[in-house]
Amino acid sequence: MLDNLALGFATATTLPNLLYCFLGTFLGTFIGVLPGLGPLAAVAMLLPVSFYLPPETALVMLAGVYYGAEYGGSIASILLNIPGTPSSSITCLDGYPMARQGRAGVALLMTALASFFGGVFGILVIAGLAPVLAQFALLLQPADYFAVMLLGLVAASVVSNSGTLRGVMMVCLGVLLGTVGVDVNSGVTRFTGSIQDLRDGVGLVVVAMGLFGVSEAMMSARGAAPSYATEKVSWQRFLPQPSEWLRSLPPALRGSLVGSFFGTLPGTGQTVASSIAYALEKRVSPNRGEFGKGAIEGVVVPESANNAAAQTAFIPTLTLGIPGSTTMALMIGALMIHGVTPGPRLISEHPALFWGLIVSFLFGNLFLLVLNIPLIGLWVRLLRIPHYFLYPAVVVLISIGVYSIDHSLFDVWTMLAFGFLGYLLRLHRYEPAPLLIGFILGPMMEEYLRRAMLLSRGDPMVFFQNPGSAVLIAISAVLLVLTALPRRKRG
SS (H, E, C) the chain: CHHHHHHHHHHHCCHHHHHHHHHHHHHHHHHHHCCCCCHHHHHHHHHHHHCCCCHHHHHHHHHHHHHHHHHHHHHHHHHHCCCCCHHHHHHHHHHHHHHHCCCHHHHHHHHHHHHHHHHHHHHHHHHHHHHHHHHHHHHCCHHHHHHHHHHHHHHHHHCCCCCHHHHHHHHHHHHHHHCCEECCCCCCEECCCCCHHHCCCCCHHHHHHHHHHHHHHHHHHHCCCCCCCCCCCCHHHHCCCHHHHHHHHHHHHHHHHHHHHHHCCCCCHHHHHHHHHHHHHHHHCCCHHHCCCCCCHHHHHHHHHHHHHHHHCHHHHHHCCCCCCHHHHHHHHHHHHCCCCCCCCHHHHCHHHHHHHHHHHHHHHHHHHHHHCCCHHHHHHHHHCCHHHHHHHHHHHHHHHHHHHHCCHHHHHHHHHHHHHHHHHHHCCCCCHHHHHHHHHHHHHHHHHHHHHHHCCCCCCHHHHCHHHHHHHHHHHHHHHHHHHHHHHHC
Where do the domains of the chain lie?
2-490
- At residue 421 the predicted structure's pLDDT band, cuts being 50, 70 and 90, is very high
Looking at residue 485, what is its pLDDT? 65
- At residue 347 the predicted structure's pLDDT band, cuts being 50, 70 and 90, is confident
- Average pLDDT for 456-485: 84
Please say whether the beta carbons of 84 and 69 come within 8 A. Answer: yes
Q: Which of 78, 108, 109 is nearest to 93 (CA)?
A: 78
Digit-coded pLDDT (tens) for 376-415: 777 666 666 666 777 787 788 778 878 877 788 998 999 9
Residue predicted with more confidence, 48 or 450: 450
Predicted structure pTM score:
0.70
146-155, 267-276, 448-457, 462-471: lowest mean pLDDT where?
A: 267-276
